[in-house]
Structure 1
């Protein structure tokens, strides 16, 4: 019997996180309020060794909808997402990361807001979750790995990251390979895409009920990792202005100027809190790092996160 084309393609990129992948995928199997006949899942494995192949095969055997495995051996998060999109068949694309676990009503909430708002991209909240063993800077780290937004569902005038989002394929500048390959190792490929879409008039929306848990790998649950990553996040808006065509010089200078002030003010606040042994100094240090990133976004200061060989 032939099957109707899917209405939503669920995409989970993964790279050497088998335990997290299983949690993420099984949370998709438990979705309510959406017909399984309208769904397909594409898991893209960005490990050159194809380490997730057998795990995905096992998950496919218990899935309520078709599961496709894609092996993208060329390292890089943009490569992985582009390969998954090329395989996906549906007009709507939902992204979930391999360190996230979706609530049972996650997809239904994204779809409801997309239909109500006619949005091109819908984003949902992320709730960072640290294990009980993490005590030092716990509140900061859980906040760092979280995403917050408006209490009410509806249109928004800005964008968030790709993890926990629903995209309308027809609104993408390239329906199969919209993520810039030059962002493979530095990240920000989703910011660049959404900035391009916004410049073309794309509509964004927020779905507060479409929440997911995020369980960072243990190596990321440290203040050092988070502050370096905050610096990288700060680079995003300045780099996006530099990458615009034509280059947005005014925006770039504006973000860099804001960054200087932000780094100076919150750097002083963080230093004062640290001297007073205040346990919340990490929050001010985060703001200072993001400000510094807005200013030092170019050349040797660009950070690399993705697609690198595993550490031994």
Structure 2
């Protein structure tokens, strides 16, 4: 039996899920390491079951279908974990496609660094975005880190990651259900891991591509996400009852909103494509100020199901 399970949560993205799974099936150098590929269907209608049935003959490893009918991003991740006892867990999102050496690079980086959580680079793709927005959006949906594999001093998100279960994923439901609708379940998880002395690693060669769907490849969506990302530091400090920390982040946010807001206005006047990046930084600053309950955007769970029902 292998020691790694790959978990892919999904919600009504059959074509994207197919692309993600076929990229997993093409992994090289890890044949004996993979215990299972687990797809967690977070659709109340269980719509991904037919996709899994059609792709199962292509999989070199057990392809496990899990239905989690209550929409929620944390709930979906926890359901995937409940379906395996593998000591190493790799997460791939259903809008991502992994390079052929992706998992081998994550595993090599973890072995080399001893990190509890290892992350890899993401190339953002927004093929349907407006020309002036495309460079910003592709940076937004991507991520880059050090040129070399090694330990890093901060975590990234769960998409494209490898976690040591015993250290990084404690308990039966390590992802907080409080983040089911808004996201940020990985931020909460990794903040707790860092507080316990956990270590983070970077796998420079573990690259995936992330394809932004049409409804996400817009300025409105990206800025709403930027606002939510900005809320993260303030919310993390508040969850720890670190009120001086909350105050510090709010002061930082006020400064960012003022400085980048002014830059945004100037770049908008001259119609510069760089204005999108300044809008982003302004939104992150405002998020640090408005971190309280009632201001969290809803990207996942019931909100996403409702959007899909309207589409």
> Residue 124 of structure 1 contacts residue 211 of structure 1 at CA under 8 Å; is this kept in 2?
yes
User: What is aligned with 1:274?
Assistant: 268
User: What is aligned with 1:108?
Assistant: 104
Paired residue secondary structure (2:294): helix
Q: What is the CA–CA distance in structure 1 between the aligned matches of 2:115 and 2:129, rounded to whole Å?
A: 40
Residue 172 (structure 2) pairs with residue 180 (structure 1): no
Q: What is the CA–CA distance in structure 2 between the aligned matches of 1:302 and 1:134, rounded to whole Å?
A: 27
C-alpha spacing 1:275/1:149, structure 2 compared with 1 (3 Å): same
What CA deviation, in whole Å up to 9, does each residue of 1:65-100 have, x standing for no partner? 001100001110000000000102210000000000
Residue 190 (structure 2) pairs with residue 194 (structure 1): yes
Q: What is the CA–CA distance in structure 2 between the aligned matches of 1:95 and 1:173, rounded to whole Å?
A: 12
State the number of aligned residues. Answer: 306
User: What is aligned with 1:163?
Assistant: 159
User: What is aligned with 1:231?
Assistant: 227
User: What is aligned with 2:239?
Assistant: 243
C-alpha spacing 1:50/1:261, structure 2 compared with 1 (3 Å): same
> Residue 124 of structure 1 contacts residue 207 of structure 1 at CA under 8 Å; is this kept in 2?
yes
User: What is aligned with 2:143?
Assistant: 147
Paired residue secondary structure (1:299): coil
Q: What TM-score comes out, normalization by structure 1 length?
A: 0.95
User: What is aligned with 1:303?
Assistant: 297
Give the CA RMSD over aligned residues.
1.2
The one of 57, 64, 67 equivalent to 1:68 is 64
Q: What TM-score comes out, normalization by structure 2 length?
A: 0.96
Q: What is the CA–CA distance in structure 1 between the aligned matches of 2:238 and 2:25, rounded to whole Å?
A: 41
- Map 1:72-83 to 2 at 5 A: 72-83=68-79
- Map 1:85-104 to 2 at 5 A: 85-104=81-100
Runs of 5+ consecutive residues of structure 1 not aligned to the other structure? none
Runs of 4+ aligned structure 1 residues displaced above 4 Å come to: none
Q: What is the CA–CA distance in structure 1 between the aligned matches of 2:48 and 2:225, rounded to whole Å?
A: 26
Runs of 5+ consecutive residues of structure 2 not aligned to the other structure? none
User: What is aligned with 1:53?
Assistant: 49
Shift of 1:37: 5.6
Residue 4 (structure 2) pairs with residue 8 (structure 1): yes
Shift of 1:133: 6.0
Q: What is the CA–CA distance in structure 2 between the aligned matches of 1:305 and 1:21, rounded to whole Å?
A: 18
User: What is aligned with 2:257?
Assistant: 263
